[in-house]
Every structure is written in structure tokens, then in C-alpha cells.
């Protein structure tokens, strides 16, 4: 169904039928429930804190016997979800950079990291910088962007030159 057809259909419904459909969607679809829960109680700070905890557990599990998974996808799911909900861009950008910073902390003491890790962290970095520029919030994050690039160089990441090249536009 096209957006135009949906609008036409919704205009034909009376208020009670429309309310009934929204309640039905709320009960059936978790995404709708999450959306309305966020709209009526937008506790962004709590959402970001929970996301940061889950991301950090990817790299530093609570149970020492567990091996760190270091999956970029965990953070990407949160970021995508927050963008969909319309979470404040500053908070979303903070989470994007936090993901890279925690990954850099993880990689400090390890020597057997696969190249895919470095590639995925650069991709996250690139996406974060692009998001920050698109939302016009560079002033809030310029220092962190440069710091991440310099940290990649000090850790001898094989693709640190890409980080530096991207961050050089902010020096």
C-alpha cells in the first residue's frame, strides 16, 4: 500500500475506528509498542546508559571465563534503533563514538586482533563522523574525533592512516 492510499484510507475512518486500529497495532507489534513507550516517556539518558553497558559487555564480559565477542553489530543495532526513534542526535553521536572508544580500550592489551576488527571500527568511525557532520554537531565532538584517530595511530592500527586522514579536516 502506498502512503497516498494509506492517507486516503485513514481519512475515511472515523475517530473510534482509528483509535481501535492503533490499539490493535500497539498490542500486536512490539515496534509500535516501543515507539509509543518512547514517545510518551522519552527517557533518552536511561536508554543510552543501558546501550553503553551492553556494548561494554561485548568487549569486557562480567564473567571472566567468557571470551569477549567484540561484535560491532551490537552497537549498530542500538544506533539504528535510536535513529529510528528520533533520539537526540548528540546522544546518538555520543554512543557512536563511545563504541569506538571502548573498542580501542579493548585492543590496547591485545596483539592477536584480526584485520576485520580494524576495518569495522573504521567503518563505525566513518559513519559517526558523517552523522555528526550531517547533524551539525561537530563542535561538541571535534576533540573526541581527533583523539580517536590519534589513539588508533598510537596503537599501531594497520588502518590508522585512514582515521588520521578523516580527522585531519578537523585540525
Which domain range does residue 118 map to? 43-170
The cell numbers describing 99, all together, are: 563504541
* Judgement on whether residues 10 and 88 belong to the same structural domain of the protein: no
* Judgement on whether residues 71 and 115 belong to the same structural domain of the protein: yes
* Judgement on whether residues 90 and 123 belong to the same structural domain of the protein: yes
* Judgement on whether residues 122 and 90 belong to the same structural domain of the protein: yes
- The tens digit of pLDDT for each residue in 30-87 reads 888 888 887 787 788 888 999 999 999 999 988 777 788 888 899 999 999 999 988 9
What is the tally of structural domains in the chain? 2
* Judgement on whether residues 37 and 49 belong to the same structural domain of the protein: no
- The tens digit of pLDDT for each residue in 107-131 reads 998 888 999 999 999 999 999 999 9
* Judgement on whether residues 6 and 77 belong to the same structural domain of the protein: no
* Judgement on whether residues 34 and 55 belong to the same structural domain of the protein: no
Sign of CA dihedral 123, 127, 130, 133: negative
* Judgement on whether residues 102 and 154 belong to the same structural domain of the protein: yes
Distance CA 40, CA 21 (A): 19
Instruction: Judge whether 93 and 137 are in contact, CB under 8 Å.
Output: yes
Q: Is the pLDDT of residue 171 over 70?
A: no
* Judgement on whether residues 153 and 80 belong to the same structural domain of the protein: yes
* Judgement on whether residues 32 and 48 belong to the same structural domain of the protein: no
* Judgement on whether residues 113 and 47 belong to the same structural domain of the protein: yes
Nearest to 145 by CA among 123, 160, 167: 167
The cell numbers describing 144, all together, are: 573526541
- The tens digit of pLDDT for each residue in 135-145 reads 999 999 999 99
* Judgement on whether residues 37 and 48 belong to the same structural domain of the protein: no
The single-letter DSSP state of residue 171 is -
Distance of CA 24 to the CA centre of its chain: 30
Nearest 5 degrees, angle CA 101-CA 78-CA 87? 100
Instruction: Judge whether 115 and 158 are in contact, CB under 8 Å.
Output: yes
Let me know if 147 is exposed, middle or buried by CB neighbors in 10 A (0-12, 13-18, 19+).
Answer: middle
Amino acid at each position: 500500500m502506498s502512503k497516498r492510499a494509506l492517507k486516503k484510507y485513514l481519512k475515511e475512518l472515523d475517530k473510534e475506528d482509528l483509535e481501535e486500529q492503533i490499539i490493535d497495532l500497539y498490542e500486536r507489534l512490539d515496534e509500535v509498542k516501543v515507539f509509543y513507550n518512547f514517545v510518551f516517556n522519552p527517557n533518552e539518558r536511561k536508554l543510552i546508559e543501558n546501550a553503553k553497558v551492553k556494548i561494554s559487555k561485548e568487549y569486557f564480559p562480567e564473567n571472566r571465563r567468557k571470551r569477549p565477542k567484540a561484535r560491532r553489530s551490537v552497537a549498530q543495532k542500538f544506533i539504528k534503533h535510536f535513529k529510528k526513534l528520533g533520539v537526540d542526535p548528540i546522544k546518538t553521536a555520543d554512543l557512536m563514538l563511545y563504541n569506538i572508544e571502548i573498542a580501542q580500550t579493548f585492543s590496547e592489551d591485545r596483539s592477536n586482533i584480526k584485520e576485520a576488527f580494524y576495518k569495522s571500527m573504521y567503518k563505525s568511525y566513518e559513519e559517526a563522523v558523517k552523522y555528526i557532520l550531517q547533524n551539525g554537531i561537530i563542535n561538541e565532538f571535534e576533540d573526541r574525533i581527533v583523539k580517536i584517530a590519534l589513539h588508533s595511530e598510537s596503537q599501531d592500527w594497520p588502518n590508522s592512516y585512514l582515521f588520521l586522514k578523516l580527522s585531519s579536516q578537523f585540525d
